[in-house]
């Protein structure tokens, strides 16, 4: 089982994340393939991912900013249980950097237009 498949198997069992994903993913293999391409792009620079994850997350109101921390904690747990430490550590660090950016992007996009920007 790939890291992505192991992670999403856990997501589908997670009390907080499963309902959100169930609202948007009905066919898991294509979703997992797309996310695997995202990670190959982010980690290996394969340029095999075509998408705008920030926009996708912003457009789905049930993806609340506070879910990102939980998502990242679960991601880290799965990475450390399925990957060698020398692989898991940098992958988790990258996921956390991306996750912070996604969370801030979602928060900022949902702020009233006259509100000051969210910096973290």
Q: How confident is the model at residue 5 (pLDDT cuts 50, 70, 90)?
A: very high
Q: Would you state the pLDDT for residue 2?
A: 87
Range of weakest confidence among 42-51, 67-76, 93-102: 42-51
Q: What is the pLDDT of residues 8-29, one digit of tens each?
A: 999 999 999 999 999 999 999 9
Give the ranges where 17-66 is alpha helix by DSSP (H).
Answer: 17-24, 28-44, 53-58
**Number of Cβ within a 10 Å radius of residue 11:** 20
Between the two ends of the chain, the Cα-to-Cα distance in Å is 35
């Amino acid at each position: 089982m790939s890291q992505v498949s192991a992670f999403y198997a856990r997501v589908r069992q997670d009390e907080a994340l499963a309902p959100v994903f169930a609202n948007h993913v009905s066919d898991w293999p294509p979703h997992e393939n797309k996310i695997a391409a995202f990670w190959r792009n982010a980690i290996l620079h394969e340029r095999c991912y075509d998408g705008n994850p920030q926009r996708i997350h912003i457009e789905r109101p049930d993806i609340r900013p506070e879910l990102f921390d939980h998502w990242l904690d679960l991601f880290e747990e799965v990475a450390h249980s399925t990957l060698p430490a020398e692989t898991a550590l940098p992958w988790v660090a990258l996921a956390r950097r991306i996750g912070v950016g996604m969370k801030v992007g979602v928060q900022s996009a949902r702020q009233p237009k006259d509100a000051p920007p969210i910096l973290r």
